[in-house]
Amino acid sequence: MATTADIRKGLTIQMEGQTFLIADFQHVKPGKGGAFVRITLRNVKSGRVIDRTLNSGATIEIVRVDTHDMQFLYKDGDSYHFMDQESFDQVFFDEDLIGENAKWMKEGVICKVSFMGNQPLSLEVPNFLELEIVETAPGVRGDTVSGSGKPATLETGAIVQVPFFIEQNEVIRVDTRTSAYLDRVKK
């Protein structure tokens, strides 16, 4: 058991009979009354986000979570196949675990997969990926007023906004957290 003083982002806890990941927290000490902690929790199974308020010093149950580096191999129907980078065991996960990260799944990408025992809890893709543009409109000369850019479809199927000078078949670096174009990769 731990207390609210041990709370930090990314910690996995057991509460109300369910397993949650702490997405955000804030210690609050008002002028009147006792201190408390506001926490934002994400259910590891359903992905649902809830907010809870705990009195300062309240006990929480921390869940042990192991993280493994796993390489994405291929997609087969609704299953995503991965290989553990230490044991070389191959496992597959359903689309439920992959979730929004499906648009970043490129063969060979190393992801961090969190496990509670043998049950996978979450999958995290790298923050930055280098991906090839498979489709984008040609840039129109002199069209620099809008500043927002143009949509480009990447090799994984993700669509990001890129500057007008970027062309098809170029490789770009993308921030997977925000789906934002960062820069062009030199060949």
The CATH number for 153's domain is 2.40.50.140
Per-residue pLDDT at 187:
66
Among 21, 40, 62, give the residue marking a domain's end. 62
Regarding whether 143 and 105 lie in a shared domain, the answer is no
Q: Which helix (H) or strand (E) holds 140?
A: none
Amino acid identity of residue 9, one-letter, is K
Q: Is 99:47 a contact under the CB 8 Å cutoff? A: yes
Q: Which helix (H) or strand (E) holds 95?
A: helix 95-98
CATH number at residue 14: 2.30.30.30
Per-residue pLDDT at 6:
86
Per-residue pLDDT at 104:
93
Beta bridge partners of 91: 82
List helix spans (H) across 3-152: 95-98
Among 88, 108, 124, give the residue marking a domain's end. 124
Regarding whether 58 and 6 lie in a shared domain, the answer is yes
| 3 state SS of 83 | strand
174: tokens are 């993308």
pTM over 0.85: no
Beta strand 59-62 with 12-15 is antiparallel
Q: Is 110:127 a contact under the CB 8 Å cutoff? A: no
Domain that holds residue 113: 66-124
Q: How far is CA 183 from each of CA 16, 96, 106, 175, rounded to the nearest angstrom?
A: 45, 31, 19, 10
Backbone region of residue 96 per phi and psi (left: phi > 0; alpha: psi in -120 to 50; beta: other values): alpha
Q: How many CB atoms lie within 10 A of CB 186?
A: 5
Among 105, 124, 143, give the residue marking a domain's end. 124
The CA distance from 33 to 142, in Å, is 62
Regarding whether 52 and 22 lie in a shared domain, the answer is yes
Q: Residues of the chain whose pLDDT is less than 50?
A: none
The number of domains in the chain is: 3
